[in-house]
Amino acid sequence: MRVLLPGALLALAALSSADLPVARVGAQWSEGAVPVYGYAVVRTYPHDSDAFTQGLQYLDGVLYEGTGLRGRSSIRRVDLESGKVLQQRDIPAPYFGEGITIWRQDLFQLTWQSGVAFIYDRKTFAPRRSFQYVGEGWGLTHDGTSLVMSDGSDALRFLDPATFAERRRVKVTAAGRPVPHLNELEFVKGEILANIWQTDSVARIDPKSGRVTGWIDLTGLLTTRERRATDVLNGIAYDAAGDRLFVTGKLWPKLFEIRVVPAAGRAGHVGRVGR
């Protein structure tokens, strides 16, 4: 069994147990008003079990990953099939790496409590510039016009990619109630998918209103034995060209390609299984 690293313990201690949502947030917020979806596993890929995954993106045949923990944070280019790290740039302490996204030729990376976003050349990982922001950095994606950032609250910030200035902010709600702990983000077909920290649920969010239009329950991706050596579900990437959705978690040994299905039709793991 893996011992939780000091940085991970600090992250978990940031919120009291009274503040944590239940393991399946769909049941907590939907009350029958918000549909809950299941999943089918299309394929399973290896994933670095030492990677404290904070951000994930798939673009032009390349899987990019941002990892966290102070002294162990990095940005990476990863071979999807083998899980091998092909290129890596380490982020020095005291920075705790968080969400990433690719905007044109830049790779953006948030940091947890340092209030700074780093921008790198997406091909070479050479530093280009940085931006300051108020509050914590958690997840990051973009909608083709604005960067979209989460900070652990129930809010999504829409930012100018050139200046990092805030253009607007929306509060995320489900069945009229705020949804906190929004974490890793991915923009998929006009909606924002968001991991909810400390749960196995992903929210499907309307970016205009902030309303949760559905929950994806990802319970059971790892076996009970596998989960004992890992941290939480975190990491969503979408391959727009191939219409493939990938998910993983912090310190997870596997990355999954999944298909979202109606909850009643979920039959567990189906389709091809990779190495």
Q: Work out the mean pLDDT of the chain and round it to a whole number.
A: 86
In this structure, the chain runs to a length of 275
Is pLDDT of 7 > 50?
no
What pLDDT is recorded for position 26? 52
What pLDDT is recorded for position 263? 73
Does residue 29 or residue 254 have the better pLDDT? Answer: 254
CB of 244 closer than 8 Å to CB of 47: no
Closest of 120, 77, 69 to residue 95, by C-alpha: 69
What pLDDT is recorded for position 203? 97
What pLDDT is recorded for position 229? 86
Does residue 262 or residue 197 have the better pLDDT? Answer: 197
Is pLDDT of 115 > 70?
yes
Q: Which residues contact 89 (CB under 8 A, 6 or more apart)?
A: 74, 75, 76, 120, 125
CB of 158 closer than 8 Å to CB of 195: no
What pLDDT is recorded for position 31? 54
Q: How far apart are CA 213 and CA 188, in angstroms?
A: 13
Is pLDDT of 266 > 90?
no
Mean pLDDT throughout 164-184? 95
Which band of pLDDT confidence, cut at 50, 70 and 90, is reported for residue 24? low
Helix (H) or strand (E) holding 256: strand 254-262
Mean pLDDT throughout 106-113? 97
Which band of pLDDT confidence, cut at 50, 70 and 90, is reported for residue 228? confident
Domain spans, the chain: 53-241
Q: How far apart are CA 78 and CA 80, in angstroms?
A: 6
Is pLDDT of 15 > 50?
no
Which band of pLDDT confidence, cut at 50, 70 and 90, is reported for residue 32? low
Q: How far apart are CA 91 and CA 75, in angstroms?
A: 8
Is pLDDT of 201 > 70?
yes
Q: Which residues contact 32 (CB under 8 A, 6 or more apart)?
A: none
Which fold, 53-241?
Methylamine Dehydrogenase; Chain H (2.130.10)
Coil, strand or helix: which one is 102? strand
pTM for this predicted structure: 0.86
What pLDDT is recorded for position 273? 23
- The label of the residue with tokens 């510039």 reads 129
Lowest model confidence (mean pLDDT) among 4-13, 238-247, 248-257: 4-13
Which band of pLDDT confidence, cut at 50, 70 and 90, is reported for residue 22? very low
Is pLDDT of 92 > 70?
yes
Helix (H) or strand (E) holding 6: helix 6-13
What pLDDT is recorded for position 28? 55
pLDDT per residue as tens digits for the range 177-196: 999 999 999 999 999 999 99
Q: What percent of the chain has pLDDT over 70?
A: 84
pLDDT per residue as tens digits for the range 41-52: 999 999 999 999
